[in-house]
Homo-oligomer: A and B are copies of this chain.
Amino acid sequence: MATFSVNSERLLGHIRELGTIGRESDGRLSRLALSDADRLGRDCLVSWIRAAGLDVAIDQIGNIFGIWANDKNRDQPPVMLGSHIDTVINAGIYDGCYGVIAGLEVIQTFKDADVRPDRPIVVASFTNEEGVRFSPDMMGSCVYAGGLDLQKALATRGTDGAILGSELNRIGYAGNYTPGFLHPAAYLELHIEQGPVLERTGTSIGAVADLQGISWQRITIEGQANHAGTTPMAFRSDAGYVAARIMTFVHDRASASEASGVATVGTIAFEPNAINVIPSRATLTVDLRNPDEKRLLKDERSLAEFLSRLQTTEHVKIQAEQLARSSPVTFDPEIVALIEDVASSRGVTSRRMTSGAGHDAQMLSAIAPTAMIFVPSRRGISHNPDEFTSDEALVEGANVLLEVVRRLM
């Protein structure tokens, strides 16, 4: 079989064109799920799918599918390539969009070369991956894989008060297909890394072997507000100090571990938040991630024990509320090995890695052999206009995807 390459101009052109849709008056890119901007992005994607000669299918949660099938292979389980095109507020142009557009590009490349695969190839764009306007994130893929009830998802109320099902209708993307109507033989998601590992190690391709389990907690500490000058150290119930102890505990524990778990305190608030008043209350969030469920459970347990000790030693009340929890996902070892093999055969470097972010692939892995391919992100930045991956890296990633699909189809 001949060596195929994607049409790099078409691939990059599509990425850039989609990146112009949903710009606010100040130039910021925001295509929040099921907004007018999302509708415009969806319309653009659907027009490309139609122009490529694929069948378009929309399911009841608004997931968009471009199906390339023929009479001979139509009954076979397809290879599905997907991601999402909704964005965060003030986003970059690559996150999600790259995977969808590259999936379409792979199909077009095969189609242009008149290849006749044994099974259909499908490009999928899943609804509300980002979870900014409607919670939870990865909603469309979760419903598709049977992890979330459709009616419950449709009844979700957004941060702006809108009901998800109504918004789907309003923008014309409430489809008729039942989520899960296509059962893939394999699911592949090409994505920017959104982390610094590939860039820092000078690696071209990430063969993503697993995805971290995530534990989000909100911790509230109740102390006693008192005058910062007149209250001796020994008489204090300083909620702010306890927050600091929690921050250093989770950070230092993750840093000292040899596993690839991470721990982050991203938000904090003190009350009354006055320079000369001991904080009566501190609220912080803890984001723990680990690719090993046993270790994640151990991290959670050790934090709970530490909170319990602090309550006694620091004379405060502490409450911990679980905001989100997902178990780690292990991707299909054969597809991961195939990605490494393809990279090697193309003469580019690759490394097995863990995805620290959640992706639609994590939902699809419940119903199909799944893996992800990462390309480098400059300085690891994403969810930000500074998100950047070089054209060469984007094209290389799409060509690796192309060859992996060729060997699977």
Which residues from chain A sit less than 8 Å from chain B, CB to CB? 193-197, 200, 212, 214, 216, 224-235, 238, 240-241, 243-245, 247-248, 251, 254-255, 260, 262-270, 273-279, 285, 287, 289, 323, 355-358, 379-384
Contact = CB atoms under 8 A, between A and B. Distances in A.
Please give the count of copies of this chain that the complex contains: 2
A234 B193 CA distance: 17
Contact of A260 (B214, B232, B355, B383): B232
Contacts of A247: 240-241, 243-244
A298 to B, nearest CB: 16
9 contacts: A214-B229, A229-B358, A232-B260, A238-B251, A240-B247, A245-B248, A267-B275, A268-B269, A268-B273
A310 to B, nearest CB: 12
A266 B255 contact: no
Nearest to A274: B266
Contacts of A289: 228-229
Interface centre among A247, A358, A379 (most CB of B within 10 A): A247
Nearest to A270: B268
Nearest to A282: B268
A351 to B, nearest CB: 13
A224 B264 CA distance: 13
A265 B287 contact: no
A323 B274 CA distance: 13
Contact of A278 (B235, B255, B264, B279): B264
A397 to B, nearest CB: 16
Given A233-B254, A268-B270, A275-B287, A228 B196 contact: no
Given A238-B251, A287-B275, A229 B262 contact: yes
Given A240-B268, A244-B247, A260-B232, A227 B356 contact: yes
Given A238-B251, A275-B216, A229 B287 contact: yes
Given A226-B381, A266-B274, A381-B226, A241 B233 contact: no
A228 B212 CA distance: 11
B380 A226 contact: yes
A232 B262 contact: yes
Contact of A232 (B197, B231, B234, B277): B197
Contacts of A200: 235
Contacts of A251: 233, 238, 241, 244
A379 B235 CA distance: 10
B241 A248 contact: yes
A101 to B, nearest CB: 21
Given A240-B247, A241-B247, A194 B266 contact: no
Contacts of A267: 270, 273-275
Nearest to A262: B233
Given A235-B380, A241-B251, A247-B244, A357 B229 contact: yes
B230 A194 contact: yes
Nearest to A353: B230
A264 B380 CA distance: 35
A57 to B, nearest CB: 32
B266 A230 contact: no
Contacts of A268: 240, 268-270, 273
Contacts of A216: 275-276
A357 B379 CA distance: 47
Given A229-B357, A240-B265, A356-B227, A235 B274 contact: no
